[in-house]
Amino acid sequence: MRICCKPASGFLLLVLSFPVVQADPAEPRYAIVIHGGAGGAVTGDADRQAVLQDALAAGEAMLKNGDSSLNTVEAVVRMLEDSSHFNAGKGAVCNAVGEHELDASIMDGRDRSAGAVGGVTTVKNPISLARRVMTETPHVLLVAGGADRFADTLEKDPQIERVSNRYFSTEAQTKKWLREKKKRETRDRQQEKSESLGTVGCVALDAHGNLAAATSTGGLINKRYGRIGDSPIPTAGTFADNETCGVSCTGVGEDFIRNAVAYDVSARMAYLDQPLDKAVEAVLFDADRPVRGGIIAISRQGQIVMRFNSAGMARAAADSTGRHEVIVGK
């Protein structure tokens, strides 16, 4: 504050001047980041890029219009689940018996509410069922037949559409499964060498300062029947806390579960005061606790991070400062 005294017709004029406080122009009002899976080279990159572009545009429009981060991440992941070009929903990989078991989770950074489903077989959009677990039950995770039976109770919910298990099959994933099955008839491990390790995920920060994260996957190709990865486990594959960040992971789920990766990123920010980029880097490149895959995240200030140690990761990001990018590959 600055105080000035000036004579004015025999009187003293007191002038108070206060400094103008401006918001940091580099701090976005909203932000969104998406991944389409970590892994090696895949065919159809142009198609994947087009779907990511549409999903990013839709998510950004929702945030720009004041919608919540929670609604946004669900809507974006639904779009990716409906595409045959990702390992989630329609394009899910086959398990060891040639069927599809899908996993998903969603988390609200306002209060760490979370919902998840694992091994679902007849729900078109597992991410929406995960959200109903969060909002309609006292639980966090429902799996297999229990998750599908819960979906039975939601028959009037237009977001919970039922399909046959064959709906998720695609010619490309079936051919890939047959190749993997032939190679691994006597090898139960080495799942990380499959052509695609990917899940899909989205993290968003809305104009109200709320973070949310969502992740959905078909899992690892040729996985054992009943295997659950990190995607439906909050703290492993998904995490959101308004005080730190939102996180969605992709890669070899067992690595992310063992190391509580999504939560570890948040914890490093909270307890070590690490910035988001340093926290993600520390987790992904820790030689003593190897994690194979990638991480997308947004801090409470709107910083976006997209890092991976795999051969590539499909990803996209946008924010209110004008950032808008879609990258498929390295």
Q: What is the DSSP string of 10-53?
A: TEEEEEEE-PPP---TTS-S-EEEEEEEEES--S-HHHHHHHHH
Set 72, 121, 199, 244: catalytic member: 199
Give CA 203 to chain center in angstroms: 5
DSSP assignment of 306-326: EEESSSEEEEEEEETTS-EEE
Residue 216 is predicted with a pLDDT of 97
The domain locations on the chain are 29-327
> Mean pLDDT for each 10-residue chunk of the chain (330 residues)?
47 42 63 90 76 97 98 98 93 87 97 97 97 98 95 94 84 68 53 56 98 95 90 97 98 94 98 98 94 96 96 95 92
Residue 195 is predicted with a pLDDT of 43
> Catalytic: 199?
yes
Least Cα distance to 252 among 194, 210, 297 occurs for: 194
Q: Output DSSP code: residue 233.
A: S
Instruction: Provide the CB-side half-sphere exposure for 64 (13 A, CA).
Output: 11
Least Cα distance to 246 among 112, 94, 89 occurs for: 112
Residue 30 is predicted with a pLDDT of 98
Residue 43 is predicted with a pLDDT of 55
Alpha-carbon span 315 to 296, nearest angstrom: 8
Alpha-carbon span 45 to 187, nearest angstrom: 30
Task: For domain 29-327, say whether CATH 3.60.20.30 is its number.
Answer: yes
Say if pTM beats, i.e. exceeds, 0.75.
Answer: yes
**Residue 144 belongs to what H/E stretch?**
helix 144-152
Residue 28 is predicted with a pLDDT of 85
